[in-house]
Chain A
Amino acid sequence: MRRLTAVELEERLDVHLDPALSSRRTAARPAADLAAFPRRKQDFVLHWGAVIARDNAELAYQFTAFAPQAMALMDLESVESWLLYAMDLYDKKGQMPAIRAFQEVADFAANQQEKLAGRALEDCAGVLERFVCGLNGRPLKILAGERTFTDTETCFLPPVVGRLPDKEANFRLYKAMAVHQWAQNWYGTWRGGVLLEAVESARLTGADLALVHALEQVRLDACIARDFPGLHRDMAALRRALDPDAGEADPHWRALVAPLEEPRADVGVSLGLAARLGARLPLPCCYRGELDPASVRSRLEVRAALERDRFRIALAQLLEDRDGAAPGEDRPEAETLPETRERLGIRRQEDPDSPDGVRFELFLDGNPVAPPDDVISTMESIIQDHGEIPPEYLVAAGPGLYRRGVGGEAKDADSAWAGAYHEEGAFLYDEWDMSRQHHRKGWCVLREHEVRPEDPAFYHRTLRKYGGLIKSIRRTFEVLRGEDRIIKRQHFGEDVDIDALVDAYADVHAGLEMTDRLFTRLHKDERHIAVMLMVDMSGSTKGWINEAEREALILLCEALDTLGDRFAIYGFSGWTRKRCEVYPVKRFGEPYDDDAKARICGINPRDYTRMGAPIRHLTGILAEQEARTKLLITLSDGKPDDYDHQYRGEYGIEDTRQALFEARREGVHPFCITIDEQGADYLPHMYGPANFTVIADVTRLPLKVSDIYRKLTS
């Protein structure tokens, strides 16, 4: 095909870049740059420019402006990963970082090699988290951060590591970083607040802190060498490769740090040594990262309060078990009960049978008591922070502490956190972007909300209205129900099949071969099905449709109850990606009782139909069920749809289709029952040719649904 001229290019660019253009900024310049490229590359830029413009015209302009430079530096595949990287940034952090990413195309191209050989944290965070958890102590989370440090609950590591030539070596570097941070927590860099105090009393300044860290690293490495020789070998090899002139072999330095390598050395030794060394520059180390006393302090404060309260409540529990009455009932306001102090005690004991060689034993009235497992893990965490259970912790909680709740107030998904901007307590789900052919990571924010039960009058009305039908439904479904039956003429079984035996006997006398199928066996025919009903609660169902949906649900539930299949009902609705909602009407494991019936009556129309995230959420719940057959049945009235125009139409259909693909991969069979007459146009594409039913007449929905279910599962 012919190469486009600058004028033609400008015309086409104007179409989708229009909102980002002005009298001072035209598409002439990018068009002129692009004119020099072959047609294939021109089309590539035009195509992606249009795709990005659907999200943000300004970004599309930036992309178009820097694309010529990018194509000069990299092949098309790398250019594509560059623009997807920028768009991911846009999804996660907004426009400015994305623009910066487009502008820094040269850096991206230079790092491309590194990126190819490097490891992304995303890919190995799961392994690292489990690895660190296995090592010992409190489990640590692994997150990407701009700086490499730990706040004692999370390890922050760089998002990509590419300093070494191959992926495996880069993984080892990640591992070394994570282990160093774990070692800070386990071997007590922060224990007892010694280091924090030194920082806060301004005895330590930034440069000194770095030196203390370097000395701590020597101490921690020595601990690791003692306990994990294999790990130490790996880490030493990394240092040889990455910090070749670290000067560690210097005998003077070795003599200086020797006390740190003693098994009994603690953070105090590092502090003391740092004070003597003065302004000496720390040696470099590839996995050390930095110390962040401020974030440790804030974490520690929250955790210390929480664990102290938990521990005291546990003590009150132990006292109650011993005395047969809750302590301090006469003082409802008291948070602690000082008189319990002398009844409680704790002793540290050498114990060769515990993995760390020591054990802390709790005493009540002079006798050892065995606290429950969750209290033991709280105690272990306290000991990890303080090196002991501080004496002031040893006092039972009073009723006042119970009332206040542990560590402040509890969070409630329905109160302040239901807003669009707080993502705490919510589930994050990916969404499929068809134009990018990529998932948008963590794009949808989904919450579970309670359904308010309503007057069950509707339920009883429905039962009356469909009385005859319900009887016949029950009858048909009873036939379906698996019954135990005796199968005859088996190779083995519980009992002799007399008929078969007589026949066989006759056969033998007639000179024929005798069969060995002489037994009867009891065959248990269990239905092993879990069904998830996903009910459309979008605004468009208001009125007739909603009523028909609820009626259909009630009839189906009666049927399912007869059958004994496990089932759950969830409603779904949504308003943009920040507010996807599912409403548990009946969860798996909950009985189909009056409450559940009242909640079915309480299903009300709400907002829009963003289907991808709810499908992913419910698939997850369904996948946890132990059943041979798992069904996800959607009751809906139309296409996937949302408030933002982007989701409407093809995008929404493709995302839903992708979510259903993912569900099938989990072993879930999706099926759709819709009343949208146009359903036959798009449903085969989403659900597959045989996995949907269109019911043209809403009033017939209740009649049909049970029928469909019967056909589906027999």
Chain B
Amino acid sequence: MQHVLRVLRPEEYFIVDEPYYEPVGDEIAVFEAAYQNGLPILLKGPTGCGKTRFMEHMAWRLKRPLITVSCHDDLTSSDLVGRFLVKGGETIWVDGPLARAVRAGGICYLDEVVEARKDTTVVIHPLADDRRVLPMEKLGELLEAPDTFCLAISYNPGYQSVLKDLKQSTRQRFVALEFDYPGSALEQRIVEKESGIDEGRARQLVKFAHMTRNLKGQGLDEGASTRLLVHAAKLMVSGVDPVVACRSSIAQALTDDPDMLTAVNELSASLF
């Protein structure tokens, strides 16, 4: 593998090659319209169904840098906005990713936003309504967002605990786009395109995904996502035995329960 290491500042991360994305409905048109009108966007959907890929595709389409923040429960507002650091005996201000995105007029994508603490999500409120400003309390400044700036957040309504629901005051500021696993034929095409696997194998993989989705609620929290299917397909293209590929890239990723693992492995073995 030849690789030229590129080190980029987040706001310079422009996506040059078109990321592969198969539209399921009119999500691209809706996103573009929202973007033109300066409205923030909320992506809902289960894990691995293409939310992040959609964001990359849109960033490419709109030719804006994409700054992604994966939220976690220790994420504080200063992690987003910025903080003072001590450097050489002086305190200097360092912008957080959200402030950088606003300054650069890029797209800021807060992935899995409900994972962040509730007080953190509040800092995006002024950015997410018609004010479109980011207050930087510690600097005593307001950062006004240029027209090209766009805020997008994602969340998975499926598995998170009730404690981590998105607040009404947050969600009601956004244009919401719902994502789900694509239909069988489309999903098969995606698996083929992403991995270069042949049609028959791709069909079997999609069928296997549906089997695991049958088990949702019967002991599995989630069925296999499209992303997992692509992983399995890539392994298979590299010459890994299909049953082994499904076991290591799908079954083990879905569950730790030994009975469930055996059942899922038997399901994949029944297809290949």
Contact = CB atoms under 8 A, between A and B. Distances in A.
A131 B266 contact: yes
Nearest to B88: A508
A517 to B, nearest CB: 11
B121 interface: no
A134 interface: yes
B262 A355 contact: no
A134 B185 contact: no
A643 to B, nearest CB: 37
B183 A352 contact: yes
B218 A130 contact: yes
A175 B76 CA distance: 52
Contact of B86 (A128, A134, A495, A518): A518
Interface of B: 76-78, 83-84, 86, 89, 91, 161, 182-186, 206-207, 210-212, 214-215, 218-219, 243, 259-260, 262-264, 266-272
A133 B214 contact: yes
B186 A130 contact: no
Given A130-B219, A134-B212, A505-B89, A231 B270 contact: yes
A504 interface: yes
B263 A134 contact: yes
B211 A130 contact: no
B231 to A, nearest CB: 19
B264 A626 contact: no
Given A353-B183, A353-B186, A494-B78, A131 B86 contact: no
A129 B266 CA distance: 12
Contact of A353 (B184, B214, B219, B268): B184
A603 to B, nearest CB: 30
A126 B257 CA distance: 11
A136 B161 CA distance: 28
B259 A127 contact: yes
Which 8 A/B pairs are nearest by Cβ-Cβ distance?
A353-B183, A130-B263, A231-B270, A352-B185, A134-B211, A126-B259, A355-B210, A131-B263
A258 interface: no
A139 interface: yes
Given A352-B183, A352-B184, A496-B91, 20 more contacts: A127-B259, A127-B263, A130-B218, A130-B219, A130-B259, A130-B263, A131-B267, A134-B267, A135-B211, A136-B211, A136-B214, A227-B207, A228-B271, A229-B272, A230-B272, A231-B270, A351-B183, A353-B182, A494-B76, A494-B83
Nearest to B78: A494
Interface in A485-544: 494-496, 501, 504-505, 508, 518
Contacts of B272: 229-230
Nearest to B138: A495
Contacts of B263: 126-131, 134
Contacts of A130: 215, 218-219, 259-260, 263-264
B269 A353 contact: no
Query: Which of B207, B210, B214, B260 has the largest count of A CB atoms less than 10 A from its CB?
Result: B214
A437 interface: no
A135 B264 CA distance: 10
Interface in A388-427: none
Contact of B184 (A179, A231, A354, A494): A354
Contacts of B182: 353
A351 B260 CA distance: 31
Contacts of A354: 183-184
Contact of B89 (A229, A508, A626): A508
Contacts of A134: 211-212, 214-215, 263-264, 267
Nearest to A509: B89
B97 to A, nearest CB: 16
A133 B215 contact: yes
A546 B186 CA distance: 66
Contacts of B214: 133-136
Contacts of A352: 183-185
Contacts of B211: 134-136
B271 A353 contact: no
A492 to B, nearest CB: 9
Contacts of B219: 130
Nearest to A232: B270
A305 B109 CA distance: 51
A501 B185 contact: no
A504 B86 contact: yes
A208 to B, nearest CB: 32
Contacts of A228: 270-271
Contacts of A127: 259, 262-263, 266
B188 to A, nearest CB: 9
A495 B91 CA distance: 12
Identify whether the interface residues of B are mostly helix, strand, loop, or mixed: helix
Contacts of B210: 136, 355
A139 B266 contact: no
B267 A353 contact: no
Interface in A122-173: 126-131, 133-136, 139
Nearest to B243: A230
Contacts of A129: 263
Contact of A135 (B83, B89, B270): B270
A133 B213 CA distance: 10
28 contacts: A126-B263, A127-B263, A127-B266, A130-B215, A130-B263, A133-B214, A134-B212, A134-B263, A135-B267, A136-B211, A175-B266, A179-B270, A228-B270, A230-B268, A230-B272, A231-B269, A231-B270, A234-B269, A352-B184, A352-B185, A353-B183, A355-B206, A494-B78, A494-B83, A495-B78, A496-B84, A496-B86, A626-B161
Contact of B218 (A133, A175, A227, A234): A133
Contact of A501 (B83, B86, B262, B271): B86
B207 A229 contact: no
B261 to A, nearest CB: 9
A267 to B, nearest CB: 23
Contacts of A128: 263
Contacts of B268: 230
Contacts of B260: 130
Contacts of B78: 494-495
Contacts of A505: 89
Given A353-B185, A494-B76, A626-B161, A230 B269 contact: yes
A353 B78 CA distance: 45
A227 B168 CA distance: 46
B89 A355 contact: no
Nearest to A500: B86
A665 B269 CA distance: 33
Contacts of B76: 494
Nearest to B269: A230
Query: Which of B89, B182, B263, B270 has the largest count of A CB atoms less than 10 A from its CB?
Result: B270
A130 B211 CA distance: 10
Contacts of A496: 84, 86, 91
A616 to B, nearest CB: 20
Contact of A229 (B77, B215, B271): B271
A129 B215 CA distance: 10
Query: Which of A128, A131, A501 has the largest count of B CB atoms less than 10 A from its CB?
Result: A131
A228 B86 CA distance: 64
A495 B85 CA distance: 10
B103 to A, nearest CB: 22
Given A133-B218, A230-B271, A231-B270, A355 B86 contact: no
Interface in A227-249: 227-231, 234
Contacts of A508: 89
Nearest to A179: B270
A131 B261 CA distance: 10
A504 B161 CA distance: 43
Nearest to B266: A131
A126 B267 CA distance: 14
Contacts of A229: 271-272
Contacts of A355: 184, 206-207, 210
Nearest to B91: A496
A251 B111 CA distance: 63
A126 B182 CA distance: 30
